Copies of this chain bind each other. A is one copy, B any other.
Amino acid sequence: MGDAFAHLTDDPIDFRALIASVQGREDGAIVTFAGVVRDHSEGKSVESIHYDAYRSMAEKELAAIVSELGRELPEVRVAVIHRLGRLVVGEASIAIACASPHRAEAFTACREVIERVKKRVPIWKKERTPEGEEWVGWQGGG
């Protein structure tokens, strides 16, 4: 498998390169997930989102998640990339690609990666709405 493909980027995500990094001749299934900035959140209109990260730790956690899946589902090759900075509606903040000889494992791996990223990877988003900007997710603040 080589080194874990788990990166942060400040640029738009290159899906084609992500898929190429996982696909081998033995694979019959490729599942991808993209998390995209949407135009609303909990009833508010969203204009853009700024993503901030504890970069060194976020890269370690992304690589750890890829390694975990490599142990749990050894048939699957996994790649993940998360974008940082300001993103507008429709742009991808995260992309995951999972390739496997069979589709069940590729779906499972892809879903698991995004769930673990959302739970553990030290990345934070600040939403810009018509009322201003706000960090998301810590109850009681603001």
Chain A interface residues (CB < 8 Å from chain B): 15, 23, 25-40, 89-90, 92, 101, 103, 106-107, 110-111, 114
How many copies the complex holds: the figure is 2
How far apart sit A25 and B97, CA to CA, in the bound complex (Å)? 22
If A90-B23, A103-B114 touch, does A31 touch B29 (CB 8 Å cutoff)? no
A103 / chain B contacts, CB cutoff of 8 Å: 33, 35, 111, 114
| A103, closest chain B residue (CB) | B114
Select A34's contact among B25, B30, B107, beta carbons within 8 Å.
B30
Contact status B33-A28, CB under 8 Å: no
**Which residues of the partner chain B approach A92 to less than 8 Å between Cβ atoms?**
30
